[in-house]
Amino acid sequence: MELRPILSAMRRNKFGALLIATQMAVTLAFLANALTLVEQRIAWSDRPTGMAEADAFVVHTETVDHPDDLAARQERDIAGLRALPGVVDAYTTDMYPLEGGGWTETVNLTPDQKTPTAFASHYMGDEHALHTLGLKLIAGRNFSADEIANRTDNDVPRTSGYIVTKSLAAKLFPNGDALGKPIFVETNNPAPIIGIVDRLQGPFTIATGLFSTFAENSVLSPYRLIGESSVYMVRAQPGQRDAVMKSAEAKLFALDENRILKFRSMQEVRADAYRGEHGLIVLLSAICIALLIVTAFGIIGLTSYWVAQRRQQIGIRRALGATRQAIVRYFQTENFMIAAAGAAVGIAFAIALNLWMVRSFEMVRMDSSRALVGALVILVLGQFAVIWPALRAASIPPALATRGG
């Protein structure tokens, strides 16, 4: 097919062609960046915590009568929970993965260090913590019972050692020799790394900013946190979580009815933690679909207008022997040229927009393949959108088209 008639027709309709090309470029730029953001947020919200989420639940308990024997009460609670039928294990902690906020500490290799070597989420737990969470110990050992100390806001005992995640160990000691090395957490008193677990995600769920940079860095210290409010992590036998939650509530109220209890399964915690992320994914997906629909209708409307304007030209071509397939190919080629120009501009615009968003909003850098995927979507969309008006043009009888001119 000769391109000269197509180029001549587009020169006579420069505004319409430019409008569609611009619309396609803007749609492509938004589509590519939205796709990048959606992929990032899906990957972020699907990250494994490292723990046995399906069978675990959290209990928040708070006393209302300000007793003096908080440590003894907490010990009774944990012993009661561990003794329940269907319970694998339980322990008291300061926080849990995906909670939304918690303890963060700097981790250093020397005392009085000006610039931290790493940031980490600071978990506390006893010798039952790894078993309760279902963490995978890949090096070293667990805490022993005689290493566990009670801790309050005003009393921080010196610790005998820490368990860290694999990512934090790699950050602190890139050569892979973290086990046994002393680190400084909270205080200027060093303690060695006695164990390394494969993964324990932090409590923070923000996908951008400082907290996202150490989401996999966690340190576990051998403390029982004593206070008027406590957090208990409980792991049930597979399939028995909901039943154990009910029996745990009854047991804890039987031990002390003057308290406030709140139960959350880890599945509920995950759903709440990423509700905003999932909402953003749905919103961006809906906007992308709406933009594609608007762009498609724009192509259909403009091509239909051009068909109406070129009835005589189409009729003459049909009278000279042009087949219906040739007329359809004519409009498809015309649309492809406009879409290709829009896609080329759109790719450049998508990359420029992404670089600006990376600098301004800490968005993840876009893979160039996403822009190419967006360009392919725009080209295919254009070809599908032009089919209906092209078929209308091809169905015009030559004689009728000539009289209509």
The pLDDT averaged over each successive group of 10 residues in the chain (405 residues) is 64 77 91 90 92 96 89 96 97 95 93 91 96 96 96 89 97 94 90 97 86 92 94 97 97 94 96 92 92 88 76 71 80 86 92 88 82 90 86 74 51
CA atoms within 13 A on the CB side of 339: 24
Show the tokens assigned to 174: 């890139």
Cβ-based neighbours of 241, under 8 Å, separated by 6 or more: 54, 55, 56, 57, 265
Q: For position 144, what pLDDT does the model report?
A: 96
Q: For position 405, what pLDDT does the model report?
A: 45
Sequence ranges of the domains in the chain: 4-46+276-404, 66-257
Residue 290 burial class via C-beta count within 10 angstroms: exposed 0-12, middle 13-18, buried 19 and up: exposed
135 to each of 94, 195, 229, 334, 369, how far by Cα in Å?
Answer: 17, 12, 25, 60, 37
The single residue listed with the structure tokens 């087949």 is 323
CB 312 within 8 A of CB 402: yes
pTM of the model: 0.81
Distance CA 269, CA 219 (A): 21
Distance CA 197, CA 129 (A): 12
Provide φ and ψ at 341, rounded to 5°: -65, -45
Q: For position 9, what pLDDT does the model report?
A: 64
CB 184 within 8 A of CB 107: yes
Beta bridge partners of 5: none
